[in-house]
Structure 1
Amino acid sequence: MRLGRGGVPGCGWSTAWLRASALVLWLMAGLVGCRRQEASPPPFDPAAAKRGRSLFQRGQSVRGEPLMGFLAPERVELSGEVAACARCHGPAGRGSREGGVEVPDITPGALGHVRARAVGEVEDRARPAYTREMLLRAITEGVSASGRELGVAMPRYALGEAEREELLAYLQQLGEQPDPGVTTTTLTVGAALPLSGRLGPLGREAAAVVRAVFADVNAGGGIFRRKLELVVEDDAALHARQNASNVAPDATARLLDKGVLALVASVRQGALPSDALLVQEGVPLVLPLTLGGGASEEDSPVFFLYPDEPSLARLTVQHLARLNEPELRRKPLVVAHAGGEAGQAWAQAVRQEAERRELAAPVELAPDADGTLANLEATVKRWASAPPHAVLYTGTSSGLGTLLRALEAHAPAVPVFAPASLADAVAVGGSTGRVRFVYPAGLGERAPDLKEFASFMERHDLQPGHTAFQLGAYAAARVLVEALTRTGADVTRASLVQHLEALRDFDTGVSPPVTFGVNRRVGVQGAQLAALDPATGRLVAASEWIPLTP
């Protein structure tokens, strides 16, 4: 056999050259191995992905810290919900057109493949497939897989180590795992309602109304071929348990454990420990049933139909100031209540609204330790010579009656304003002309036409019961169905919240038109003053519609 130079068989190359070539090949193999190792993501961590969902969808970590991003080049700060990835890329990450800018698809199926050329107007041109490290660089530094700087509309996010791992884990399965309660054939919704005990009839009636609305939708083919299902958890013992130690999870928490998409028409008597879970998981609660109305923080997932009583107190002050602000600057209002948290909230709302409008500081008529207005008679006697402009009262119907009788005896010119929940003809007695009730549900020309609702009840063989709650359940189900329909086939909790926020002047059929917004979680923002008709004992309109000023 002929030997080449350097003693290598059949070759004229030197041993030194071969050694160098082997070294190059070894280095190349090592680089390929590193590249393969880099491209292999760590094992999927469902717990981390669940935590990362809050960052992506809501712009807030599960530890309550807002997501922080900066817009280049001026580094304009974005924080919390406005910084959430879903705001631009969409709840499913499939992209959108935001402000005339085409936002790219960031699901694993889109980012995990090489792009040989540009697609449409999407800004990231030909590029390699994104690795985990490249994706993190794009998120934190705004540099694409091709090494090109991303557009100024893409925030550069400031992430701690925990947030990085959680967000990357969520992005690893973005758009591939449906939200809880969503299957190819069903959308499962929950309701926390009393089914037993004193409030059992009320809860069962509300559940029957919601199920009947869902039945109508399902009979028409469902929502994008998915049937609506309602799961109800008994909330009867909640309020007896919630202040005890070692309490079991309330009905809302149990529904979340079962994996519902959203909640609808749950009965509430105030804030609950499980509200933190709704916020943490971004679960919308649509129009809970509550006698006192409601109010939520701007980024809360709880959407109410009517304003709460403190909001109605503010509306009353606003109305009186519009009528005669100069007099209210020198003659104070009186705020009276029966104590407790509700009474204090009512009084505080009156004080804050008066201060904001630079009116005279209200005089508070608070109850004694036994809950009665023992000094009421003596106080009202003093008003005979210097009457206040008006009295704003909340508490009980019997307490309102006591106040009205004292005024009849000593200060008959002083008007009284109270929430419509206290409109009791027996308690008011002969003082129907003195008291005005603040009523947000619409009267006179603004009263809803209930013919469609009556037909619905008859069609489903539902009997009238607790009418206010049946109407509330009907409105809640209608609003939920409308938002789900607008959301489309790719429904998520976050997209449902976004379409609830986009609802404008929606006709529920049983209430004034409902409008929500990014900073608005109460659908009906206003009320009317109402009087009790002494002949029928029913409320009748005593004013035009009064909008509630934020």
Structure 2
Amino acid sequence: MVTETADRRWLLKALSALLLVLLPGLAWSELTEQQARGQKLYLSGISARGNPVEAYVGGQSVRLPGSVVPCASCHGEDGRGRPEGGVIPSDITWPRLTKAYGVTSTSNRRHPPYDETALSVAIVEGGDPAGNRLDSAMPRYAMATEDMADLVAYLKVVGQTIDPGMSADSIQLGLLIPAPAAPDSLGGVIKAVYEAYFADINGAGGIYNRKLQLVTESAAAEGEVVAAAERLARRPVFALLGAVTGGQGAAVGALMESLKVPSIGPLGDYAGEADSLDRYSFYLLAGTGVQQRSLVDYAAATAKRADAAAAILHPRTAAGEKLAALMASQAALHHWTAIERIGYDPRDSDPRMLVKALRDKNVETLFFIEPAERAPELAWTGLAAAAREQGWAPAMFLSGPLAGHGIPDRPSGFGGELFFAYPTLPRDLSPEGLREFQQFHRRHGLSGRHLQLQISAYATAKLLARALKTSGRNLSREKLVAVLEDVYQYQNGLTPPLTFGPNRRLGADGAYVVGVDTDSGRFSSANWVAPLR
């Protein structure tokens, strides 16, 4: 009996594999260049060739850009139609359109099968192969002949392809990490979290019988990050997980956007790319840019700081300059004009000279941007020690993650105020969420280092698994993006509530601004601040 059951399982698996090969379009194959151009036109209403595309809508033939009413907005990413507002769009998949005996529409209109010419006529003139007028809700499109050929080529395979990085039994997910990925290194512990989470899912049968596979690429230096990300995307992978991009988040995001690879990461990048509206990029928590903007908003709203002289002390690096400009723009929203940007060399500056210059300018509010790499004396603690020596007591505002673990080592006697911004705090961990993570951590024997990053990676994996399940068996990158856009006030027990949307790619849009008692080193206050826009 055991042998018979095993044989049956083997036979069913073999039969499934055979069907995926024999049935047209069910096994993924690379779109041709023409089909890829047609896909862009179908999904976005925009010509990949740069030609104009126009739509004529309704009985009055109102002219609109094609991007306002792309084909996919009604017929769906898979071509099968999405009923909306009493309108039931037709199933326009090629097997349906070309049935040998023709088609009877939902309005009982009958017509012979479509061919390439008839389909082009329907798109341009709004009539079916029998000469019947299509529903008035169906736009008519004006486009170049070459664009029409691209669109028809794609319509022959719409709904019949599997996206890159997928197969009948697997979904490949990419992770970009620093090199080398030693077990206790930052990259190593993040990789271990994803591997362990996927092992749990796969052990329970996967997601709709597809196993999750982690594919990694590493970059040893900042200049190698984008090339490593491209290698990863072209392997191919279905989606990219929280990449450690070393300040190259904008470039990596643009690359993923061009390749239409969804990217779901725990934390926005150094210079605030989490605020971008790249369609394929999603972040759970605020990066440094949003953190610093939240600090500016908090400072402007308290103690009338906008009336006092202020400075943004930033490293003279591309990322530091960008972040300082972002903060200055945020200050301008509050009509805060008495604020100055001051650059410093992150490897060779004297904190005592910096403090003297700031004191001479009567600066009372200081936003200090620490670089990822710096001379030890240029940590915020070194700056505070120099301020104490010179009797200068400003209010100092910093990004907590950039400041690191310097709070317990604060210089005694610093008379100023200290405020740090954090994308999440221990208070966000619910008892259930903490217990779940602790059990997961113990079960897999994970490292005790970089625990907050491990929790963020775990939350990312949890969100991704939820979105993959919600997308259903007929998974695609477009469906994944649409499902993530529908996430609203998602409580995962590990982070602040997460909300995304068509114009929102940052799940927890804001940061905690935490006041620190300089005598005890304890948090004296914590306020959630969503940046003013």
**TM-score, structure 1 length as denominator?**
0.79
- 1:154 aligned onto 2:138: yes
Q: 2:446 aligns with which of 458, 462, 477?
A: 462
Decide which moves more: 399-408 or 165-174: 399-408
Question: Residue 133 of structure 1 aligns with which residue?
Answer: 117
Note if contact 2:485-2:502 (Cα within 8 Å) is conserved in structure 1: yes
Q: In the TM superposition, what is the alpha-carbon distance from 1:289 to its structure 2 partner? A: 5.7
SS at match of 1:180: coil
Note if contact 1:366-1:373 (Cα within 8 Å) is conserved in structure 2: no
Q: Which amino acid is 2:62 matched to?
A: R
Note if contact 2:262-2:281 (Cα within 8 Å) is conserved in structure 1: yes
Distance (whole Å) between structure 1 residues aligned to residue 231 and residue 255 of structure 2: 11
Q: 1:56 aligns with which of 27, 42, 52?
A: 42
Question: Residue 359 of structure 1 aligns with which residue?
Answer: 336
CA 1:398/1:472 → structure 2, altered by over 3 Å: closer, same or farther?
A: farther
Q: Which amino acid is 2:319 matched to?
A: A
Q: 2:205 aligns with which of 214, 221, 227?
A: 221
SS at match of 1:304: strand
Q: 2:149 aligns with which of 148, 161, 165?
A: 165
Note if contact 2:315-2:343 (Cα within 8 Å) is conserved in structure 1: yes
Question: Residue 117 of structure 1 aligns with which residue?
Answer: 104
Note if contact 1:380-1:407 (Cα within 8 Å) is conserved in structure 2: no
Q: In the TM superposition, what is the alpha-carbon distance from 1:46 to its structure 2 partner? A: 2.3
The superposition leaves residues 244-275 of structure 1 with CA deviations (integer Å, 9 ceiling, x where unpaired) of: xxxxx833322332232112122212237554
Question: Residue 487 of structure 1 aligns with which residue?
Answer: 471
Q: Which amino acid is 1:54 matched to?
A: K
Q: In the TM superposition, what is the alpha-carbon distance from 1:343 to its structure 2 partner? A: 1.7
- 1:96 aligned onto 2:82: yes
Q: In the TM superposition, what is the alpha-carbon distance from 1:460 to its structure 2 partner? A: 1.9
Question: Residue 251 of structure 1 aligns with which residue?
Answer: 228
How do 1:177-326 and structure 2 match up within 5 A?
177-194=161-178, 196=180, 201-233=185-217, 235-237=218-220, 239-241=222-224, 250-269=227-246, 270-271=248-249, 275-287=253-265, 292=270, 294-295=273-274, 297-323=276-302
Note if contact 2:510-2:528 (Cα within 8 Å) is conserved in structure 1: yes
Question: Residue 24 of structure 2 aligns with which residue?
Answer: none
Question: Residue 25 of structure 2 aligns with which residue?
Answer: none
Q: Which runs of 5+ in 2 are unaligned?
A: 1-29
CA 1:194/1:241 → structure 2, altered by over 3 Å: closer, same or farther?
A: closer
Q: In the TM superposition, what is the alpha-carbon distance from 1:473 to its structure 2 partner? A: 1.9
Distance (whole Å) between structure 2 residues aligned to residue 68 and residue 297 of structure 1: 28
Q: 2:460 aligns with which of 471, 476, 482?
A: 476
- 1:380 aligned onto 2:343: no
SS at match of 1:87: helix
Distance (whole Å) between structure 1 residues aligned to residue 339 and residue 54 of structure 2: 42
Note if contact 2:172-2:213 (Cα within 8 Å) is conserved in structure 1: yes
Question: Residue 106 of structure 1 aligns with which residue?
Answer: 92
What is the total number of aligned residue pairs between the two structures?
490
SS at match of 2:527: coil
CA 1:443/1:520 → structure 2, altered by over 3 Å: closer, same or farther?
A: same
Q: Which runs of 5+ in 1 are unaligned?
A: 1-43, 243-248
Q: Which amino acid is 1:92 matched to?
A: D
Q: In the TM superposition, what is the alpha-carbon distance from 1:200 to its structure 2 partner? A: 8.0
The superposition leaves residues 7-26 of structure 1 with CA deviations (integer Å, 9 ceiling, x where unpaired) of: xxxxxxxxxxxxxxxxxxxx
CA 1:461/1:45 → structure 2, altered by over 3 Å: closer, same or farther?
A: closer
Distance (whole Å) between structure 1 residues aligned to residue 316 and residue 31 of structure 2: 50
Q: In the TM superposition, what is the alpha-carbon distance from 1:321 to its structure 2 partner? A: 3.1
Distance (whole Å) between structure 1 residues aligned to residue 203 and residue 266 of structure 2: 25
Q: Which amino acid is 2:418 matched to?
A: V
Q: In the TM superposition, what is the alpha-carbon distance from 1:98 to its structure 2 partner? A: 2.8
CA 1:118/1:153 → structure 2, altered by over 3 Å: closer, same or farther?
A: closer
SS at match of 2:511: strand
Decide which moves more: 442-451 or 524-533: 442-451
SS at match of 2:110: coil
Note if contact 1:380-1:406 (Cα within 8 Å) is conserved in structure 2: no
The superposition leaves residues 377-432 of structure 1 with CA deviations (integer Å, 9 ceiling, x where unpaired) of: 3333335xx553x2111124743234323443556452111101214136632349
Note if contact 2:164-2:237 (Cα within 8 Å) is conserved in structure 1: yes
Q: In the TM superposition, what is the alpha-carbon distance from 1:433 to its structure 2 partner? A: 6.3
SS at match of 1:469: helix
Note if contact 1:512-1:524 (Cα within 8 Å) is conserved in structure 2: yes
Q: In the TM superposition, what is the alpha-carbon distance from 1:491 to its structure 2 partner? A: 0.7
CA 1:432/1:104 → structure 2, altered by over 3 Å: closer, same or farther?
A: farther
Q: In the TM superposition, what is the alpha-carbon distance from 1:172 to its structure 2 partner? A: 0.8
- 1:334 aligned onto 2:311: yes
- 1:345 aligned onto 2:322: yes
The superposition leaves residues 271-314 of structure 1 with CA deviations (integer Å, 9 ceiling, x where unpaired) of: 37554442123110111666737425324312112223222222
Q: Which amino acid is 1:56 matched to?
A: Y
Q: 1:437 aligns with which of 420, 438, 446?
A: 420
Decide which moves more: 361-370 or 456-465: 361-370
Percent of residue pairs identical: 30
SS at match of 1:181: coil
Q: In the TM superposition, what is the alpha-carbon distance from 1:479 to its structure 2 partner? A: 1.2
- 1:75 aligned onto 2:24: no
Distance (whole Å) between structure 2 residues aligned to residue 443 and residue 490 of structure 1: 38
Q: In the TM superposition, what is the alpha-carbon distance from 1:177 to its structure 2 partner? A: 1.7
Note if contact 1:54-1:282 (Cα within 8 Å) is conserved in structure 2: no
SS at match of 1:258: coil
Q: Which amino acid is 2:381 matched to?
A: G
Note if contact 1:338-1:371 (Cα within 8 Å) is conserved in structure 2: no
Q: Which amino acid is 1:172 matched to?
A: K
SS at match of 1:514: coil
SS at match of 2:149: helix
Distance (whole Å) between structure 2 residues aligned to residue 345 and residue 199 of structure 1: 33
Distance (whole Å) between structure 1 residues aligned to residue 133 and residue 259 of structure 2: 33
CA 1:338/1:74 → structure 2, altered by over 3 Å: closer, same or farther?
A: same
CA RMSD after TM alignment: 3.3
Distance (whole Å) between structure 1 residues aligned to residue 283 and residue 183 of structure 2: 21
Question: Residue 4 of structure 2 aligns with which residue?
Answer: none
Note if contact 2:268-2:274 (Cα within 8 Å) is conserved in structure 1: no
The superposition leaves residues 108-155 of structure 1 with CA deviations (integer Å, 9 ceiling, x where unpaired) of: 122223555333xxx683222222122223333444444344445434
